[in-house]
Every structure is written in C-alpha cells, then in structure tokens.
Amino acid sequence: MKRILSLLVITAFFFSSFAFYAQEESAVQEEAVQEEVMVEEVMVEEQQERSFTQELKNRFIEGGPGFMGIVLACLIFGLAIAIERIIYLNLATTNTQKLTEDVESALKSGGTEAAKEVCRNTPGPVASIFYQGLDRAGEGVESAEKAVVAYGGVQMGQLEKNVSWISLFIALAPMLGFMGTVIGMIQAFDKIQAAGDMQPSLVAGGIKVALLTTVFGLIVAIILQVFYNYIIAKIDSIVNDMEDASITLIDILSAHKK
C-alpha cells in the first residue's frame, strides 16, 4: 500500500512539474512572438515614413527645380511671417477686464499718474491705448477720446503688419503652379512635335510632370490659408477687446471727472 501511495505521489509530482514547465515554455514563446510582432510593426512604420519622405522628394524633383523651388520659397516665407505674427499676437493678448479694474482702482486711489504707471507695467496694445487716453485726460474727456481713437488705429496697423504678405503668398503659390503646368504642357507638345509621333508614354510623362507644380502650389496655398485665417480671427478678437476697453476707459474718465 505504501509503495502504491509513493508511486502515486511521484507520478503526480512528475505530471505537475511537466505541466508547469510546459506553461512556462508556452509563455516564453508567446513573449517571443509578441516581441517579433512589435519589431515588425516598428520596421513597417519606419519603412512607410521613409517611403513617404522619399516619395515627396522624388515628386519635388520630378516637378522641376525652377517652379517647385519658387513655390517652396513661398511656403517658407509665408510660414515664417505667419509664425512671427502668431507669436506677436499671443504676446499682445491681455486680460482687459483685469487691466480695466486695476486702472480704475489706481485712478481712484492715486490719480492719473498711478493709472498711467499701471499701463506702463502692462504689455499689449490695450494698455498702450489706455496710457494715451490717460495722458490726455487732463485736457478733457473729448481730448482723451480722440487720443484713444487715433492711437487705436496705430495699434491696429501694428497688429496687421505683414499679414498682407501671407495673402500674397497664398495667391502666388497656385498661380506659379498653374504657370509651371502650362509651361510643362508646352514642353510636352514640343517633344511630341519633335518626335513626330503621338506616343502615350511621352504625353503621359509630360502631363504628369506639369501637374505636379499645380498640386504643390495648391498644397502650399492650403497650408498658408489655415494660418492666415487663424491670424485674422486673432486680430479681430484683439480689436474687439480694444474697442470695448476704450469705451470703458472713457466711461471711467467721465465718472472720475464728475
């Protein structure tokens, strides 16, 4: 009986060890398979990225360095101006409500000079307009209002500075692309005339190269148009804040004079 129990115990221990070893081996195999899948996915992504970059480079070269280079210059200059305007407009954005409250409290406690000091320490066009209005407050509310209106126009010009160049590049890029397409079509027909035969490969190659400039010009125009619309919306928002704050300042000055 003891021998039978011993054999059963040994058999059970053997099978449990075998099952544990089999599970551990299967887990190791699963991990190895997962690692291989991850490596393959990374390699596929890198290959796709390289193929996209290489394809873009090849298309650019096929379009010709002449017109494609000019369109690329439009994109570079347009993006440079757009980024500069976005940074400037974000720095010009201020909390007009807080500024108005600070100016009003300073005007009540310390007079015009204290309010002007608050404006000096606050960046942005709204603070500059407030400063000009406060500077003319001693001459009367009407003089302050004229100063606010006049300097508001100056600040609006600063906000819209160089924005017209972006609209120029938006219009210029597709035009250059179309011009490159027309010139490419003319060259394709010249090749057909020189060959004396209407070969499909000759026509298709010339048309493909000609259309690449149009596609690239439209892509540049779309990219710059997005930035342009954002800049215009930002300028409109700042101008609205300037107008509302200017009206509030005149009301504050009128109440202070009473």
Among 24, 44, 62, identify where a domain stops: 62
pLDDT of residue 168: 93
Same domain, 75 and 56: no
Residues 83 and 204 both lie in one domain: yes
- Give the pLDDT confidence score for residue 59 in this predicted structure: 67
Same domain, yes or no: 51 and 115 = no
Q: Say if residue 190 is in the same domain as residue 256.
A: yes
Q: Is 156 in the same domain as 79?
A: yes
Q: Show the low-confidence residues of the chain (pLDDT under 70).
A: 1-50, 52, 56-57, 59-60, 62-64, 196-206, 257-258
User: Which token pair is 122?
Assistant: 């606050």
Residues 50 and 106 both lie in one domain: no
8 A C-beta contact, residue 80 and residue 162:
no
Q: Which amino acid is at 195?
A: A
**Residues 134, 98 share a domain:** yes
Q: Are residues 197 and 99 in the same domain?
A: yes
What is the extent of the structural domain holding 45? Answer: 1-62
Sequence-ordered alpha helix ranges (H) in the chain: 2-62, 65-92, 96-120, 125-135, 141-159, 163-195, 200-257
Same domain, 18 and 122: no
Tell me, yes or no, whether 52 and 123 share the same domain.
no
Domain count, the chain: 2
pLDDT at 14: 44
